[in-house]
Amino acid sequence: MKDIIIIANPSSGKKQAEEYAAKAQSLFEDNQRQADVRITESEEDIVKYVKEASSNKYDTMILLGGDGTVSKAGESLKDEEYRPKIGIIPTGTINNIARGLGIATNIDQAVEDLVNCKEQITDVGMINDKLFLSSISAGSIPETVWEVSKDQKEKFGSLAYFIEGFKSLREEENYSIEMTIDGKEMKVDLTLLVIGLSNSVAGIPNFFNEATYDDGYLYLFGLKKSTLGEKISVMTSLLNDSEALSDEQNKGFVIPFKQGSFKNDHNLNVALDGEKGPCFPFDIKILPAFLTFLVPEN
């Protein structure tokens, strides 16, 4: 068994991954651990190095990148028998997966925390045959997610999503969705559908305030066509008291579930961990205790 492989996506966020990969390597060496570094040149390299980590049975795989990198790495482990423990140094823009795991968004802190960490076994989601580690979303706001260009992201960071999302609110559309959730059938018109694994969604902490990565549940948030006032009221309940949204007759509602199927007349795409994902119809389920992440001790 080998010790540590560090996989860095140099294009993520503010392009600091390579620099921090070297810092992490020397910190591990100071702590009598041996780390090999791989710098990716393309998305395919993420898959290649994750497969290397798995086939050479590295104990630990440290990922430097944002949600796209971490999500791709998780997906690459889907069919592997051996899955290394995963540490994240969040050099991306939004870093929602790291946030949901309680990893520091300050990069220096995240590096330091890796020498004093604990293991957290986490659930992942499966949509058709793909894994997701954070969320699935559909509707006019999520569509703006993949319309944000790399340039905009580099210039404005997470503000780029806010600007695009705000523009899309004016062009809000309704989607008729037929869903079966843990055996219960429902038909609803939604303007936004979000399915998440942890409390953090799209960089918003406490989006699903009760959700944790190891509770065995997916959480669905549905928002119906609503006035701005109704939206504010729904979002306030969502962030403070999601129990108040347990009835699907509300303008906004939250349902914890384990598996479901979703249909829609249009071939609407979903966003998967913030990148363009599969289209409707889809089946979705929780895979409990699938990955092990390294998270700060405290």
Ligand X SMILES: Nc1ncnc2c1ncn2[C@@H]1O[C@H](COP(=O)(O)OP(=O)(O)OP(=O)(O)O)[C@@H](O)[C@H]1O
Binding ligand X (rule: CB under 6 A), the pick from 62, 65, 190, 192 is 65
Residue 41 lies near ligand X (rule: CB under 6 A): yes
Nearest approach in angstroms of CB 15 to ligand X is 9
Q: Which is nearer to ligand X, 205 or 216 (CB)?
A: 205
Binding ligand X (rule: CB under 6 A), the pick from 25, 54, 60, 69 is 69
Residue 67 lies near ligand X (rule: CB under 6 A): yes
Q: How far apart are CA 69 and CA 92, in angstroms?
A: 8
DSSP string spanning 225-291?
S--HHHHHHHHHHHHH-GGGG--TTSSEEEEEESEEEEEESS-PEEEETTEEEEESSEEEEEEEEEE
Longest dimension (CA), the chain: 59
Residue 144 lies near ligand X (rule: CB under 6 A): no
- The stretch among 42-50, 162-170, 209-217, 224-232 that binds ligand X (CB under 6 A) is 42-50
| Count of residues engaged in binding ligand X, rule: CB under 6 A | 22
Residue 46 lies near ligand X (rule: CB under 6 A): yes
Binding ligand X (rule: CB under 6 A), the pick from 11, 134, 140, 198 is 11
Nearest approach in angstroms of CB 39 to ligand X is 8
String of b and e for 183-221 (b: at least 16 CB within 10 Å)? eeeeebebbbbbbbbbbbbbbbeebbeebbbeeebbbbb
Query: What is the four-CA torsion angle of 44, 45, 51, 53, rounded to 10 degrees?
Result: -160
Residue 93 lies near ligand X (rule: CB under 6 A): yes
8 Å CB contact between 290 and 81 = no
- The stretch among 3-11, 107-115, 259-267, 277-285 that binds ligand X (CB under 6 A) is 3-11
String of b and e for 251-265 (b: at least 16 CB within 10 Å)? bbbbbbbeebebebe
Residue 94 lies near ligand X (rule: CB under 6 A): yes
Residue 277 lies near ligand X (rule: CB under 6 A): no
Q: Which is nearer to ligand X, 72 or 85 (CB)?
A: 72
Q: Which residues bind ligand X (CB under 6 A)?
A: 9-13, 40-43, 45-46, 65-69, 92-95, 153, 274
